[in-house]
C-alpha cells in the first residue's frame, strides 16, 4: 500500500472517529433532555398529575333522594314512587359522536316505538346545559319487551342505555290532581331557581298544589358516591358513599274515600266540592270537575294530549275549588243575618212583610224575591229557612257595605286562608274602595242589595264558602285551613311549625251574644229538616242532623267571544246550584261547600250531593277516625 493512501485512510478514519464522538455528544445531550423531561413530569409536576389521575379515576356522583310519600288521613297512599325504565343516550359516546344522534335514533326507532314528540323533547333537552357524558332521556316508560329489545341489540347501540329511575306515581289518578298537584320534569326556568347541588341528580319537581308547596320537604337531601370509573365512564366500583336523605312523608287531612265519592258525585258535571274538618281546619276533600290524570304529566304529556286539555271548553285544567270565583248567592245569608243582629241594625225578632219584591224608593226598581207573591210575614229564622231575598234586601240596605263586608271578611271571604295551596285565589269581597279602584264608581245602595243575597260584585271560591261555613259551624272558632295533617308523624296545625309563612290568620269571631249562633244554627237545621226548608228533601230520613244553606246563583252572561251552539247556550245560562252545610249539626265533623255549574237550583242540584257525602263520611262502615293505620301501610 502506498504511504499516501495509508495517510488518506488514516485521515478518513480520524474524521470518522470525530463524527462518532460528535454523535455520542448528541446522544448524551438528548438523553439529558429526555431524562430531564421525565424528571420534570415525575418529580416537579408529580402532585399535579397525581391529582389529575385521581380526578380521572374517581368521580363524584350525586344520588337523588327518594321523594317523600303523601298519604291521606287514614294512611292510604296518595302519591308514591315507582321504578320506570327509560332509554337514554350519552351523546359523547354515540357512534359518530354528537353527529350520530339522528342515526342512533333511527336505529332505535326500528326496535322500539319512538314518536316525533319524544324526539322533539329529546332535542330540547339536548340543547339544555348539561354535564359532559351525562345521559339524556329519549323515551320513558319502556315495557318489558322494549327493554329486552334494546338489551339484545346493545352491542350495536353504542352510547344507548336503559336506565331505571323512581318516578312519582299517583294511585288515585282520577280527580285527585286538583287537591295534590303533581310533579313534572324540571325545566330550564326551575333549574335556575333550584339548588343546583341538592337537585344535581333530581329530574322532577313539584309543579302544582301540595307537591309544589311542600317541595323542599318532599324532595330530601341529595347523597353522593365516589366511584371509580374507566375512560368510558363505566363504574367499576364504589369507593365511598353518603346515603341520600329521603324526603319527608306527609299525611294530608284528605280522606281518599270521601274524595273519590265527591269525584263520583260530580262525574259528568262541572263544579266543585270542598269538604273541611271543622275540628282541625283540615281539607277532607277538594274536587274540581272535570279533572285530568296527573300521572301523564310526570313523564311528560304529549303536546296533543295537553292541547286537548287546554282547549277544552269544560276547562279541566282549571282548579275551580281554589280559583273558581262564583257568586256565593244565598249561602252567605247566615253570615249577613248574623252581621245584622250582632251590629244591632235589627233586633233578632225583626220581621218584615214580604210582597215578593223590594223597592229602595217608591216607584223605583223592583228587586224581586225568588218566590213570586212573596213569603208573607218573615222573621230571621224564616228568612234563612226559606231563603227570603226580600228580607236580605231590607237588612242589606239598612247595613250598607261596611258591616256586611267586615263580617264576611271575619269569615274568610276576600282572603286566602288556606296555608298550603299556592294557587288559591282571594276572589272579590267588594268594598267601597274596591269599587272605586276597579270599577271607578261609587258604592250605590243597589250594590248593597245585590251583596246581601250574595250576588253582584261579590265572589267567592268553593274553598272560601266551605271555610265560611266551617267558622259558622264552629261558632266563630278558626283553624288554619290546610291540606297537611302531619309530617313524618309530627302533627302540623300551622305551617309556621315547618318554618313557613302562615297565610292570613283571622281571629275567632266573637259575637255580642253567643245565643246568636244558636239562632242561625237552628235556622240552618230547619233548612234541612223542617217542612218548609229549601233542602228538606235532602235532609229527610237522615239518622243525624244536618245544618245547611242552599244557594242559586244567577249566571250573568256568557263571554261574547265564546262560541256555543244553541243547546250549549241554554245549558250555560242555567243557574249554578250551591250548597253549604255541616253534619252532625250539633257536633260538626264535616263541612261541605258544593257548587254545580249550570246545575239549576241549589236545593235540587247541590243539596242532594251534600247528603250523599255526609252519609258516606258519617255512616261509612268500619269508621275508625280515631285510629291512624298509616303505620301498618307504611312501607
Partner 1 sequence: MADFQRSVPDTVKFLRRGPSILARSRIDLWLLFPVLCIMALGLVVLYSGAGASQEAVDKQLLRYGVAMLGMLIMAQINLRELERFVPVLYVIGILLLVGVLLFGVGAKGAQRWLQIPGGPRFQPSELLKLAVPLTVAWYLAGKPRPPSLLHTLVAFALVMVPVLLIAKQPDLGTSVLIGASGIFVIFFGGLLWRYVVLAIVAAAAAMPALWMVMHDYQKQRVMTLLNPESDPLGAGWNIIQSKIAIGSGGLTGKGWLQGTQSHLDFLPETHTDFIIAVLAEEFGLLGVLLLMFLYAFVLIRGLIIAGKAKDPFSRMLAASLTLTFFVYLVVNIGMVSGLLPVVGVPLPLVSYGGTSAVTLMLSIGMLMSIRAQRTSRRLRKVR
Site for partner 1 (CB under 8 A): which residue of 6, 34, 106, 164?
A: 34
Q: Which helix (H) or strand (E) holds 595?
A: strand 590-596
Question: What is the closest distance, in whole angstroms, from the C-beta atom of residue 103 to partner 1 in the complex?
Answer: 19
- Name which of 443, 616, 471, 477 is nearest 542 in CA terms: 616
Among 13-21, 352-360, 384-392, 490-498, the segment contacting partner 1 (CB under 8 A): 13-21
Instruction: For the CB of residue 52, give the shortest distance to partner 1 in the complex, in Å.
Output: 5
- Say how many Å lie between the first and final Cα of the chain, rounded: 108
Q: How far apart are CA 538 and CA 552, in angstroms?
A: 16
Residues 205-244 that bind partner 1 (CB under 8 A): 228-232, 236
Residue with cell 321504578: 83
| Closer of 13 and 629 to partner 1 (Cβ) | 13
Q: Which of 135, 288, 330, 452 is catalytic?
A: 330
C-beta of residue 599 within 8 angstroms of C-beta of residue 576? yes
Burial of 548 (0-12, 13-18, 19+ CB in 10 A): buried
Query: Which positions from 131 through 160 interact with partner 1, judged by CB under 8 A?
Result: 132
Report whether 472 contacts 276 (CB < 8 A): no
Task: Give the separation between CA 572 and CA 344, rounded to whole angstroms.
Answer: 41
Query: How is residue 349 annotated by DSSP?
Result: T
Q: Any catalytic annotation for residue 200? A: no
CB 215 within 8 A of CB 190: no
If the CB atoms of residues 32 and 171 are measured against partner 1, the closer one turns out to be: 32
Query: 260-278: buried (b, 16+ CB within 10 Å) or exposed (e) per residue?
Result: bbbbebbeebbbbbbbbbb
The verdict on 53 binding partner 1 (CB under 8 A) reads yes
- Identify the CA nearest to 408 among candidates 517, 333, 515, 519: 333
Tell me the window of 44-52, 241-249, 262-270, 550-558 that interacts with partner 1 (CB under 8 A).
44-52
What's the length of the chain? 635
Question: What SS3 state is found at 83?
Answer: strand
Pick from 15, 193, 241, 365 the residue near partner 1 by CB under 8 A.
15
A 10 A CB-CB count for 528 gives: 29
Rule CB under 8 A: is residue 10 a binding residue for partner 1?
no
Task: Work out how close the CB of 266 gets to partner 1 at its nearest, in angstroms, rounded to a whole number.
Answer: 58
Question: Measured from the CB of residue 37, what is the shortest distance to partner 1 in angstroms?
Answer: 5
Q: Calculate the CA 516 to chain-centre distance.
A: 38
Give the pairing type, strands 235-242 and 490-491: unpaired
Give the C-alpha separation, 480 to 107, whole Å: 57
CB of 34 to partner 1, least distance (A): 5
Chain position carrying cell 264576611: 408
Torsion sign over Cα 12, 17, 21, 26: positive
C-alpha to C-alpha distance for 605 and 579, rounded to whole angstroms: 9
The residue count for binding partner 1 (CB under 8 A) is 38
Please state the closest distance from residue 100 (CB atom) to partner 1, in A.
15
* Selected binder of partner 1 within 49, 438, 444, 564 (CB under 8 A): 49
Our CB check for partner 1 shows the closer of 134 and 359 to be 134
User: What's the min distance (Å) between Cβ of 17 and partner 1?
Assistant: 6
Please report the DSSP string for 601-631 in residue order. -HHHHTHHHHHHHHHHHHS-TT--TT---HH
Which of 6, 7, 10, 38 forms a contact with partner 1 (CB under 8 A)? 38
**Going residue by residue from 87 to 126, which x/- string records binding to partner 1, judged by CB under 8 A?**
-----x----------------------------------
CB of 93 to partner 1, least distance (A): 11
- The burial of 545, by beta-carbon neighbours within 10 Å (0-12 exposed, 13-18 middle, 19 or more buried), is given as middle
Nearer to partner 1, 8 or 619 (CB): 8
Q: Is 60 in the site for partner 1 (CB under 8 A)?
A: no
Which is nearest to 454 in space by CA: 315, 323, 554, 581? Answer: 554
Which pairing describes strands 351-354 and 282-289: parallel, antiparallel, or unpaired?
A: unpaired
Stretch that binds partner 1, among 36-44, 108-116, 393-401, 556-564 (CB under 8 A): 36-44
| CA neighbor of 220 nearest in space, from 85, 62, 73 | 62
State which residue, 6 or 441, has the beta carbon closest to partner 1: 6
Task: Give the SS3 label for residue 175.
Answer: coil
Q: Does 564 bind partner 1 (CB under 8 A)?
A: no
- For partner 1, the closer of residues 37 and 120 by Cβ is 37
Cell 225578632 belongs to residue: 349
In the list 12, 102, 103, 195, the residue contacting partner 1 (rule: CB under 8 A) is 12
Told to check if 43 binds partner 1 by CB under 8 A, we report yes
**Number of DSSP helices (H) and strands (E) in the chain, helices first:** 26, 21
20 near partner 1 (CB under 8 A) = yes
Grid look-up 245602595 returns 445
**Quick one: 98 or 559, whose CB is closer to partner 1?**
98
Of 231 and 437, nearer to partner 1 (C-beta) is 231
Closest to partner 1 by CB, 30 vs 366, is: 30
Q: How far is the CB of 96 from partner 1 (least distance, A)?
A: 13
Cβ–Cβ < 8 Å for 458, 338: no
Nearer to partner 1, 133 or 370 (CB): 133
Restricted to residues 413-442, the positions that interact with partner 1 (CB under 8 A) are none
The single-letter DSSP state of residue 420 is S
The 573-602 site mask, x for binding partner 1 (CB under 8 A), equals ------------------------------
The answer to whether 52 contacts partner 1 (rule: CB under 8 A) is yes
Comparing CB distances to partner 1, the nearer of 238 and 267 is: 238
Q: Which of 6, 48, 106, 267 binds partner 1 (CB under 8 A)?
A: 48
Closest to 606 measured CA to CA, from 274, 257, 256, 381? 274
Query: Binding partner 1 by CB under 8 A: which of 6, 23, 238, 441?
Result: 23
Please, what is the minimum distance in Å from the beta carbon of residue 108 to partner 1?
24
Among 57, 74, 123, 574, binds partner 1 (CB under 8 A): 57
Collapse the DSSP code of 185 into the 3-class scheme (helix H, G, I; strand E, B; otherwise coil) and give the result.
strand
The residues annotated as belonging to the active site are: 330
Where do contacts with partner 1 occur on this chain (CB under 8 A)? 12, 15-17, 19-20, 23-24, 27, 30-31, 33-35, 37-39, 41-43, 45-46, 48-50, 52-54, 56-57, 92, 132, 228-232, 236
Amino acid at each position: 500500500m502506498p504511504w499516501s493512501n495509508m495517510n488518506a485512510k488514516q485521515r478518513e478514519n480520524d474524521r470518522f472517529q470525530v463524527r462518532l464522538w460528535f454523535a455520542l455528544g448528541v446522544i448524551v445531550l438528548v438523553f439529558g433532555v429526555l431524562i430531564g423531561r421525565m424528571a420534570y413530569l415525575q418529580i416537579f409536576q408529580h402532585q399535579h398529575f397525581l391529582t389529575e389521575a385521581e380526578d380521572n379515576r374517581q368521580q363524584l356522583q350525586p344520588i337523588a333522594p327518594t321523594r317523600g310519600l303523601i298519604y291521606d288521613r287514614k294512611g292510604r297512599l296518595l302519591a308514591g314512587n315507582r321504578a320506570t325504565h327509560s332509554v337514554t343516550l350519552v351523546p359523547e359516546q354515540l357512534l359518530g359522536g354528537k353527529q350520530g344522534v339522528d342515526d342512533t335514533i333511527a336505529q332505535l326507532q326500528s326496535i322500539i316505538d319512538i314518536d316525533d314528540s319524544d324526539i322533539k323533547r329529546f332535542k330540547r333537552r339536548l340543547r339544555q346545559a348539561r354535564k359532559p357524558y351525562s345521559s339524556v332521556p329519549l323515551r320513558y316508560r319502556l315495557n318489558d319487551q322494549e327493554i329486552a329489545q334494546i338489551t339484545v341489540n346493545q352491542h350495536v347501540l353504542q352510547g344507548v342505555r336503559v336506565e331505571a329511575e323512581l318516578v312519582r306515581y299517583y294511585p288515585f289518578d282520577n280527580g285527585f290532581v286538583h287537591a295534590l298537584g303533581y310533579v313534572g320534569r324540571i325545566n330550564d326556568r326551575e333549574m335556575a331557581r333550584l339548588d343546583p347541588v341538592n337537585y344535581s341528580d333530581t329530574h322532577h319537581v313539584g309543579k302544582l298544589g301540595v307537591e309544589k308547596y311542600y317541595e323542599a320537604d318532599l324532595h330530601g337531601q341529595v347523597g353522593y358516591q365516589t366511584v371509580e370509573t374507566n375512560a368510558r365512564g363505566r363504574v367499576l366500583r364504589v369507593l365511598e358513599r353518603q346515603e341520600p336523605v329521603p324526603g319527608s312523608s306527609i299525611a294530608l287531612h284528605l280522606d281518599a274515600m270521601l274524595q273519590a265519592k265527591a269525584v263520583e258525585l260530580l262525574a259528568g258535571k262541572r263544579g266543585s266540592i270542598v269538604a273541611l274538618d271543622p275540628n282541625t281546619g283540615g281539607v277532607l276533600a277538594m274536587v274540581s270537575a272535570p279533572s285530568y290524570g296527573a300521572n301523564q304529566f310526570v313523564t311528560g304529556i304529549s303536546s296533543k294530549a295537553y292541547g286537548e286539555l287546554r282547549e277544552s271548553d269544560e276547562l279541566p285544567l282549571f282548579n275551580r275549588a281554589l280559583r273558581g270565583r262564583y257568586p256565593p248567592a244565598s249561602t252567605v245569608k247566615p253570615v249577613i243575618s248574623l252581621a245584622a243582629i250582632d251590629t244591632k241594625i235589627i233586633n233578632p225578632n225583626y220581621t218584615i212583610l214580604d210582597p215578593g219584591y223590594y223597592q229602595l224608593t217608591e216607584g223605583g226598581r223592583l228587586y224581586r224575591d225568588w218566590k213570586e207573591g212573596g213569603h208573607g210575614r218573615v222573621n230571621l229564622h224564616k228568612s234563612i229557612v226559606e231563603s227570603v231575598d226580600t228580607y236580605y234586601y231590607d237588612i242589606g240596605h239598612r247595613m250598607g257595605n261596611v258591616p256586611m263586608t267586615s263580617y264576611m271578611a271575619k269569615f274568610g271571604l276576600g282572603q286566602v286562608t288556606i296555608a298550603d295551596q299556592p294557587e288559591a285565589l282571594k276572589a272579590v269581597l267588594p268594598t267601597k274602595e274596591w269599587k272605586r279602584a276597579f270599577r271607578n264608581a261609587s258604592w250605590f245602595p243597589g250594590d248593597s242589595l245585590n251583596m246581601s243575597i250574595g250576588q253582584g260584585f261579590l265572589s267567592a271560591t268553593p274553598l272560601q264558602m266551605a271555610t265560611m261555613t266551617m267558622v259558622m259551624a264552629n261558632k266563630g272558632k278558626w283553624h288554619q285551613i290546610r291540606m297537611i295533617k302531619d309530617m313524618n308523624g309530627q302533627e302540623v296545625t300551622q305551617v309556621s311549625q315547618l318554618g313557613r309563612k302562615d297565610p292570613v290568620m283571622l281571629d275567632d269571631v266573637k259575637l255580642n251574644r253567643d245565643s246568636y249562633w244558636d239562632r242561625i244554627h237552628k235556622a240552618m237545621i230547619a233548612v234541612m229538616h223542617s217542612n218548609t226548608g229549601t233542602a228538606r228533601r235532602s235532609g229527610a230520613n237522615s239518622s243525624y242532623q244536618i245544618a245547611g244553606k242552599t244557594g242559586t246563583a244567577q249566571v250573568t252572561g256568557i263571554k261574547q267571544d265564546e262560541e256555543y251552539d244553541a243547546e250549549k247556550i241554554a245549558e250555560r245560562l242555567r243557574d249554578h246550584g250551591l250548597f253549604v252545610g255541616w253534619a252532625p249539626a250539633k257536633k260538626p265533623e264535616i263541612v261541605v261547600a258544593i257548587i254545580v255549574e249550570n246545575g239549576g237550583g241549589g236545593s235540587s242540584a247541590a243539596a242532594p250531593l251534600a247528603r250523599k257525602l255526609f252519609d258516606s263520611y258519617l255512616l261509612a262502615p268500619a269508621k275508625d277516625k280515631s285510629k291512624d293505620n298509616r303505620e301498618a301501610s307504611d312501607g
